[in-house]
């Protein structure tokens, strides 16, 4: 049993900061349908470049901050109550809600995704019929207008050009929309069968993704290399294993109507065909195919499914916390055995801590976002966490553990928030985003192409820590004392985050055709979501067994109060 220390007093600023990170997550998800160029299952008629920037601004630090605070409170509970009490507490507050989420949150997400897809079917059909831009190559491919393609070719069309937003070639687009006639025409007129999209995938990846067996056979007959991998390493065979929820999401963003039974039947045929050609299933971190036979292929397929099948949709962060607590238990045993009281205190509180944290974070960061040049951490929702994502987030969790033991009573960490937050937001973030995506249009003017990815990776790691430390300093300055309203919001934030996304998706589907500004609709969706769920929390959750499970026992005002709950109050 560890002894209680003076640092065990409640940190109201960290309670508020953790709740703010979770509320920011609600706004982040609400904004997905309004961000211009951001792939999501609902594509609103009103979209904004500013919301696109907000998406990446928040994605670059929000969950990192959450896990760091979770590590802090984990260490606090351990030092105050001991390891056994910590494990029992986390079992009740994290593991049980995570398991319950599998039979509540995940099915609700599946239903909401289906609802959004069905709600967009009429719009997708209208989009196909509208033909807004006669002669447009992408519309011509979709509709099978070979005359328009002939005209564009006579004007000098590059048949391997890439879509300005999605980055795929006309041949890939023909595979996605299922136009074998157009694919054949493109190949007959000189399109490169092995042409890569912006993410390194080919038309074979696209055909396998949607089970287009006829197009797969056409591409193979025309000599496509089935072993070509995307820049993140996955093969066309991997595409045939994509989870349906992700498939529906991508199809929705591209306005593609799908027949699930037909897609899945086609995928089975494609899987068998590509496996017979020796095309492997690739797991993260593999740089070369190593599939010497069918037994190894089966094991590889199982490993792939354990990593990539999205089991813990939305509740993945709880599953990660379960793993982190297991790792922490090993650390705690060592700390108790060897008497570690303030490990690495000088390194943690040093004003130069970014000099060691940034390179360390760069190791897992380097494996992020290779598929689309994206910004921010990847996501892992499988039974086994994807290794580089696990390592990435446990760095923040582990730093939070060390930060608690560092006893920062003077508030040294984050003291420079007044310069750190604006520098991170207005300098580090835009340069990192531009180097990763080119969306802002100035990377060619400042760096050669070979430097874009390395610079972006370094700056993304730096940005996450600067925003984390800056947020700590800001909230310590503003919210050191208890505030009943903020405490209530903090208590409710766990419930709000767990339950918000299905409602957000339904609301996005409802408002997607409304002729209102994107920011206004974002505010409406966010406010309605939080308002409805706060009402449900107060009337049906806070004072019931659900509230006890999530936050500890609470009593309505005027009734006898129970013994105080564990200081940090929520599952983080």
Residues 6+ apart with CB under 8 A from 511: 44, 521, 524, 525
Distances (CA, A) of 54 to 28, 155, 423: 8, 39, 16
DSSP string, 532-556: HHHHHIIIIITTSHHHHHHH-----
**Coil, strand or helix at 35:** strand
Residues 6+ apart with CB under 8 A from 497: 22, 23, 25, 26
- Mean pLDDT in the chain? 86
Domains of the chain: 6-117+321-551 (no CATH), 134-308 (1.25.40.20)
CA distance 252 to 221: 30
pLDDT on residue 310: 84
The alpha carbon of residue 449 and the mean position of all alpha carbons in its chain are separated, in whole angstroms, by: 26
Structure tokens at 195: 């042409």
Residue 399 backbone dihedrals phi, psi, to 5 degrees: -65, -40
CA distance 268 to 9: 58
pLDDT on residue 473: 94
CA distance 255 to 148: 21
pLDDT digits (tens, 9 = 90+) for 486-517: 889 999 999 999 999 999 999 999 999 899 99
* Consecutive 10-residue averages of pLDDT for the chain (572 residues): 44 88 96 83 86 94 96 95 95 96 93 82 56 66 89 87 81 94 93 87 94 95 90 82 80 82 92 91 50 51 80 94 97 92 90 96 86 73 93 97 92 93 97 89 88 94 97 91 86 95 95 93 97 95 91 75 49 44
pLDDT on residue 524: 97
User: CA angle 548-554-555, nearest 5°?
Assistant: 135
pLDDT on residue 558: 65
pLDDT on residue 571: 42
**Coil, strand or helix at 392:** helix
pLDDT on residue 47: 87
Residue 155 CB burial class (10 angstroms; 0-12, 13-18, ≥19): exposed
Q: Please, which residues bridge with residue 184 across strands? A: none
**Do residues 65 and 471 touch, judged by C-beta distance below 8 A?**
yes
Residue 9 CB burial class (10 angstroms; 0-12, 13-18, ≥19): exposed
pLDDT on residue 135: 52
CA distance 26 to 279: 40
Tokens 């003291």 correspond to 415
């Amino acid at each position: 049993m560890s002894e209680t220390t003076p640092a065990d007093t409640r940190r109201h600023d960290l309670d508020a900061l953790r709740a703010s990170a979770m509320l920011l997550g609600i706004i982040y998800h609400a904004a997905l349908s309004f961000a211009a160029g951001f792939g999501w299952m609902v594509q609103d008629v009103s979209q904004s470049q500013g919301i696109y920037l907000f998406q990446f601004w928040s994605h670059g630090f929000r969950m990192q901050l959450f896990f760091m605070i979770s590590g802090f409170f984990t260490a606090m509970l351990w030092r105050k109550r001991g390891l056994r009490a910590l494990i029992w507490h986390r079992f009740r507050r994290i593991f049980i809600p995570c398991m319950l989420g599998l039979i509540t949150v995940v099915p609700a997400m599946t239903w909401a995704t289906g609802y959004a897809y069905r709600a967009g079917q009429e719009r997708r059909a209208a989009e196909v019929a509208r033909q807004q831009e006669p002669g447009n190559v992408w519309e011509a491919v979709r509709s099978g207008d070979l005359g328009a393609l002939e005209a564009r070719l006579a004007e000098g069309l590059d048949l391997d050009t890439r879509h300005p937003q999605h980055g795929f070639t006309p041949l890939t687009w023909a595979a996605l929309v299922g136009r074998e006639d157009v694919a054949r025409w493109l190949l007959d007129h000189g399109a490169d069968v092995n042409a890569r999209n912006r993410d390194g995938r080919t038309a074979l990846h696209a055909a396998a993704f949607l089970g287009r067996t006829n197009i797969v056979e056409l591409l193979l007959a025309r000599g496509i290399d089935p072993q070509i991998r995307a820049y993140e390493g996955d093969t066309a065979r991997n595409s045939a294993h994509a989870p349906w929820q992700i498939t529906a999401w991508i199809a929705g963003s591209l306005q593609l109507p799908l027949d699930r039974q037909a897609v899945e039947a086609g995928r089975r045929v494609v899987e068998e065909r590509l496996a017979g050609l020796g095309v492997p299933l690739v797991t993260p971190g593999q740089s070369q195919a190593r599939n010497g036979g069918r037994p190894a292929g089966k094991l590889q397929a199982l490993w792939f499914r354990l990593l990539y099948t999205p089991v813990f949709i939305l509740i993945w962060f709880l599953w990660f916390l379960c793993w982190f607590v297991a790792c922490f238990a090993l650390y705690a045993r060592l700390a108790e055995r060897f008497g570690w009281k303030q490990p690495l205190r000088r390194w943690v509180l040093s004003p130069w801590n970014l000099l060691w944290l940034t390179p360390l974070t760069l190791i897992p960061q380097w494996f992020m976002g290779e598929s689309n040049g994206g910004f921010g951490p990847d996501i892992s929702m499988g039974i086994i966490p994807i290794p580089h994502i696990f390592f990435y987030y446990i760095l923040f969790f582990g730093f939070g553990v060390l930060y608690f033991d560092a006893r920062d009573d003077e508030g040294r960490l984050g003291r420079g928030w007044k310069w750190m937050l604006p520098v991170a937001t207005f300098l580090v973030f835009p340069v990192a985003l531009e180097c990763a995506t080119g969306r802002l249009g100035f990377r060619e003017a400042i760096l050669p192409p070979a430097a874009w990815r390395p610079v972006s990776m370094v700056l993304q790691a730096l940005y996450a820590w600067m925003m984390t430390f800056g947020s700590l300093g800001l909230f310590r300055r503003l919210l050191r004392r208890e505030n009943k309203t903020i405490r209530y919001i903090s208590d409710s934030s766990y419930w709000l985050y767990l339950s918000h996304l299905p409602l957000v998706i339904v609301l996005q589907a409802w408002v997607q055709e409304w002729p209102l500004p994107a920011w206004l609709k974002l505010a409406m969706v966010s406010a309605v979501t939080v308002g409805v769920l706060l009402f449900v929390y107060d009337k049906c959750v806070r004072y019931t067994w659900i509230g006890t499970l999530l936050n500890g026992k609470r009593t309505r005002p005027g009734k006898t109060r129970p013994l105080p709950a564990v200081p940090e109050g929520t599952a983080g």
